[in-house]
Structure 1
Amino acid sequence: MSEAVVSPVRVGRLSIGALGILALALGTLQSVVEPALPLLQRELGVSPAEGALVGNTLLVTGAVVAPVAGKLGDRYGGKRVLVRLMAVVSAGGLLAGLAPNLPVLLLGQVLQGVMVGALPLSFILVRHHLPAGASQLAIGVVIALFTGGGMVGTLFAGPIAEGLSWHWMFALPTIAIIAMTLVVTRLMPHDPPIRSDSRIDWPGMVLLSGTLLAFMLGLVKVTGSGLPPLAIGGLAVVVAALATGWVVVERRAASPMVDLRMLAKPALWHSCLLTLVITTSFGMVAFLLPQLFAVSADGYGFALSTTDIGLFLLPGAVAGAVGDSLGGIAARRFGLRAVLIVGAVVTAATMIALVSLHTAAWQLALAKVLAAIGAGAGTTALLTRAATAVEAGDTGIATSLLVVTRVIGVAVGSQVAGAILDAGSDAVTGRPAESAFAAGFAMAGLVAALSLSPLVLRSTKKGIQA
């Protein structure tokens, strides 16, 4: 394999800004479901576990598409693949905006899910068109704006859903995505693809996509449908068989989708493992808090509207953007291990405190802020570490693996939290018992504490090696 000898075209702030605003619009579209989930559950007549599926459908697609998008971006150019993915996202957003029922909404979420592939494609463009130091800063900015889109979506989902309808909270960000895609297409120069005589490893792509899809759909079924042990065992066998087949194909491929030697680098697999732990805990918190805000006030809940839920979640969205933007900087200054340990201690302590301290709305809002800062700083530091630990030609696939891990972690956390609430719901009213929320917070705290295991202390001893 040989790369084309072409000097990269340096880009200015306007091009990077357009890429960032596109990330902002994508983050907005991704986040509108969170504050509106109780409303969607009421209007669509679904349980908490089924409600988690509305958001996780997008994550399932994202987990499948992200590594494929990253590899294709490395091979054919990030801009070329990014524009095509945005066309699919736009179709999904418009479909969700017109959805008359749950199946159509889920189909729209499936198409929207390819937006997860936009992040590694953006990293390819940034890495190619900027020098090393500036590219690290730009990666942090893009991630921060994607997270900032979560702030925008959280804030405006309620007023839009209540003032117009929930359909518009999908349609409006989609219009912005279409507009910014056109701007990026005009301003961002093409990044030359990597020239190679080897064919694309389509078998590897299919097997990896199948493994992720089987795992994510199996997770939804196991936590939401109460499958018998035999069916659960069958799903586990399918996932294991697909994963084994993928490893075998990658070891024999002349030009594998994922070079397993790269995946074996401690900087990469340690980052994937820790990202999974951090995002699983955060996924539980992100699902439980709006559910608790929406529970009727004749007991332990708050009976908040979608707009009010968004306002209480807004500080957490801001904190997440701050954590994302500062993660790489903090790790470089204080060391990766320090960032992870502080984040784990704060998150675990916050979740354990919520087991008994969840009687005031400000307590929940503060908990979201602390958890978002810890998760954002930790995962961004790990992503930056992985992006700078591989060759430039592997940036897309390496960061895709981290993005997929983030997606899987959030999906696992929210689906498990939904199952906990379902298990603790009253058979007549369908309302979860207060003890179910307490159990969910305790579980989230225990998962966060796993980041303090000896493996973490060893794997992050030397911090980021950039």
Structure 2
Amino acid sequence: MATSRYDPAASTRPGPAGAVLPRGRTARFGRLWIGVLGVLALALGTLQSVVEPAIPLLQRELGVSPAEGALVGNAVLVAGAVVAPVAGKLGDRYGGKRVLVGLMAVVAAGGLLAGLAPNLPVLLLGQVMQGVMVGALPLSFILVRKHLPAGESQAAIGLVVALFTGGGMVGTSIAGPVAEELSWHWMFALPTIVIIATTLAVTRLMPHDPPIKSDDRIDWPGVALLSGTLLVFMIGLVRVTSAGLSPLAAGVIAVVVAALATGWVVVERRAASPMVDLRMLAKPAVWHSCVLTFVITISSGMVIFLLPQLFAVSADGYGFGVSTTDIGLYLLPGAIVGAASDSAGGFAARRYGPRAVVIVSAVVTTATMIALASAHTAEWQLVLAKVLTAFAAGVGTTALLAGTATAVEAGDTGIATSLLVVTRVIGVAVGAQVGGAILDAAADPATGLPTESAFVTGFAVAGLVGALSLLVVRITKKGAQA
């Protein structure tokens, strides 16, 4: 009988989930594919964030209104809100690596389409395709957990999140120089090229993960109905606030949105494996947090949209005439503080409780917006407002996320937190669209540009929405006590 020779390179060790992984392969490729995942996250964060400082430029280049400009950034958010709840299920069913590569192919196609877009409809289609990038992070976490021990996986997840956040800062910084030195098309093309290269590296270096057999079906009807509801709602919001839309047409849009939303609720209640578990949404700990998150992020979304617009208004009037490059630099401190607020929100929630953090967040946002409505004649005032509101929104929503994660059963954590993530995305999108609608409604008839009073109204409304969260906290507290 033949004897086998011991080969250290071929020896194995148990994997994190009981799988047996080759020791040599893990040692050789482990750091490489983790690094590639990190670079991919960096490129995705960059692609997602280049739009914010460049929206005024895109409006001028494409000849569109502020409300239509807001839709450019919101297209990514709406698509992401739909993809986020199903990305993990798709990864389990078909394999995380396979689904990640497929999503990145869609993102790459969307980035190239946006980079070549001749008009607004094509750009919006590219943005919608890019929106599936939201599913990349949960899939990355799944893959890291499958292929690394617990201690190493925590460090790897932290690296991926940090680089995605860093990508947001990179995108905010480079959008202006790239758009002004090359063209706005390259804002999308350059990160997309990096995404294509790193996706090819992921395909080659990352270990394959076997799919998990499941009898649960993907809730495609629920995905389609939620997508339709969000899309019609966003487009309707633009059209309702635009000139020339009749009351009958506005009523038709409202009826269509209501019908789609009702159909989605009916489908989710009957689905064996629903996209969103409505029973989970009915739990007080979850729906209270969803309502508060929605209100907070509406105010945040308005600030995110309004500040770049005010920076870009001509200095001959009440604005500053700031270039796209300088807009990115002015927004960068807020982006940095917003990233830091995520960790601060979790710490504050553990020490003081989510409700206390939300109250402080609402007070800071309301006071800042009221002050900005009165005083907005210097760049530093806008920069400070961005920093304060970014920190307030970050700690508030993260505190709610952390509080909900610990308030529900361990097995429901993923569902509950995904609902809050989706709510957060939709709230920011609605806020930005409302901000654009306010600027459109109060535009100067002679020039078509927003008046100073439009910005004052926008900041005041953002402050009132922030204050509304105080009322929601009080109502939900009484309901919980009852």
TM-score range for the pair, normalised by the shorter chain length: 0.7 to 0.9
Is the counterpart of residue 302 in structure 1 residue 320 in structure 2? Answer: yes
Query: For the structure 1 residues 128 and 227, does the alpha-carbon distance in structure 2 shift closer, same or farther, using more than 3 Å as the test?
Result: farther
Q: Paired residue for 1:378?
A: 396
Separation in 1, partners of 2:208, 2:120:
39
% identity of equivalent residues? 79
Is it true that 1:172 corresponds to 2:183 in the alignment? no
Q: Is 1:63 the counterpart of 2:81 in the alignment?
A: yes
Say which is worse superposed, 283-292 or 112-121, in terms of deviation. 112-121
AA aligned to 1:32 is: V
Which residue of structure 2 lines up, in the alignment, with residue 352 of structure 1? 370
SS at structure 1 position matched to 2:341 = helix
| Equivalence for 1:289 | 307
One-letter identity of the residue aligned with 2:434: V
| Alpha-carbon distance change, 132 to 416 in structure 1, aligned in 2, over 3 angstroms | farther
User: 2:291 aligned with 1:280, yes or no?
Assistant: no
1:352, distance to aligned residue in structure 2 (A): 0.8
- What is the deviation of 1:194? 4.0
Q: Aligned residue for 2:262? A: 244
How far apart are the structure 2 equivalents of 1:376 and 1:310?
Answer: 19
Corresponding residue to 2:437 among 401, 411, 419: 419
Provide Cα deviations, 1:6-59, integer angstroms capped at 9, x if missing partner.
537899776555444433321211111111111111121222122212222222
The residue type paired with residue 69 of structure 1 is: A
Counterpart Cα distance in 2 of 1:235 and 1:181: 40
Partner of 1:232: 250
Structure 2 partner of 1:439: 457
Q: Which moved more, 1:411-420 or 1:125-134?
A: 125-134
CA shift at 1:267, angstroms? 3.4
CA spacing shift, 1:346–1:101, aligned 2, 3 Å: same
CA–CA separation in structure 2 for the residues paired with 1:447 and 1:7 = 50
Instruction: Indicate whether 1:195 and 2:206 are aligned.
Output: no
Please tell me whether residue 109 in structure 1 is matched to residue 148 in structure 2: no
2:269 matched to 1:258? no
1:103-142 CA distance string (max 9 Å, x none): 3222211211212232343454466667889978876765
| CA–CA separation in structure 2 for the residues paired with 1:447 and 1:204 | 30
The aligned counterpart of 1:268 is: 286
**Shift in alpha-carbon separation, 1:17–1:195, aligned structure 2, 3 A:** same
The structure having more radius of gyration, on CA atoms, is: 2
Once the two structures are superposed, residues 304-344 of structure 1 have per-residue CA deviations (whole angstroms, 9 ceiling, x without a partner) of: 11111111111111111111243323322332223222222
What is the letter of the counterpart of residue 23 of structure 1?
Answer: A
Q: CA deviation at 1:144?
A: 4.8
Which of 361, 365, 374 aligns to 2:383? It is 365
- Residues of 1 paired with 2:326 and 2:420: CA distance? 33
> Matched residues in 1 for 2:301 and 2:343: separation?
20
Tell me the CA shift for residue 220 of structure 1.
Answer: 2.9
CA contact (8 A) 1:296 1:303 kept: yes
Q: Distance in 2 between matches of 1:318 and 1:54?
A: 23
Which residue identity does 1:299 align to in structure 2? G
Q: Describe the shift of the 1:98–1:206 C-alpha distance in structure 2 as closer, same or farther (beyond 3 A).
A: closer
Identify the range of structure 1 (345-354 vs 323-332) with the bigger mean alpha-carbon deviation: 323-332
Pick closer, same or farther for the CA change 1:453–1:325 going to 2, 3 Å.
same
CA contact (8 A) 2:77 2:429 kept: yes
Contact 1:44/1:101 (<8 A) preserved: yes
Of 187, 199, 204, 2:222 maps to 204
User: 1:7 is matched with which residue: 3, 18, 25?
Assistant: 18
* Residues 207 and 65 (structure 1), Cα distance of their counterparts in 2 relative to 1, 3 Å cut: same
Superposition TM-score, scaled by structure 2 size: 0.85
- Paired positions, count: 458
Distance 1:73-1:260 versus aligned 2 partners, 3 A rule: farther
Letter in 2 for 1:256: P
Which residue is equivalent to 1:455? 473
Q: 1:339 to 1:131 in 2, by over 3 A?
A: farther
| Structure showing greater relative contact order (alpha-carbon pairs closer than 8 Å, 6 or more residues apart) | 1
Provide the residue aligned with 1:213 in structure 2. 231
SS of the aligned residue for 1:453 comes to: helix
Uncovered stretches (5+) of structure 1, i.e. residues with no partner: none
| Deviations, residues 257-316 of structure 1 (Å, cap 9, x unaligned) | 333222223333233222211111111111111111111112211111111111111111
Checking the alignment, whether the CA contact within 8 Å between 2:241 and 2:440 is kept in structure 1 is no
**Do 1:140 and 1:324's aligned partners in 2 also have CA atoms closer than 8 Å?**
no
Q: For 1:158, give the aligned amino acid.
A: G
Q: Which of the numbers 320, 325, 334 marks the counterpart of 1:316?
A: 334
Gaps of at least 5 residues in structure 2 are 1-15
Q: 1:296 to 1:435 in 2, by over 3 A?
A: same
1:49 to 49, 63, 67: 67
Residues 137 and 377 (structure 1 numbering): CA distance in 2 closer, same or farther, change over 3 Å?
Answer: farther
Which one-letter code corresponds to 2:18 in the other structure? S
Residues 82 and 223 of structure 2 are in contact (CA less than 8 Å); yes or no, is this contact kept in structure 1?
A: no
Cα distance, 1:445 vs structure 2: 0.8
Contact 1:116 / 1:403 at 8 angstroms: preserved in 2? no
**Residue of structure 1 in register with 2:100 after alignment:** 82
How well do the aligned residues superpose, as a CA RMSD in angstroms?
3.2
Check conservation: 1:82, 1:118, Cα contact below 8 A.
Answer: yes
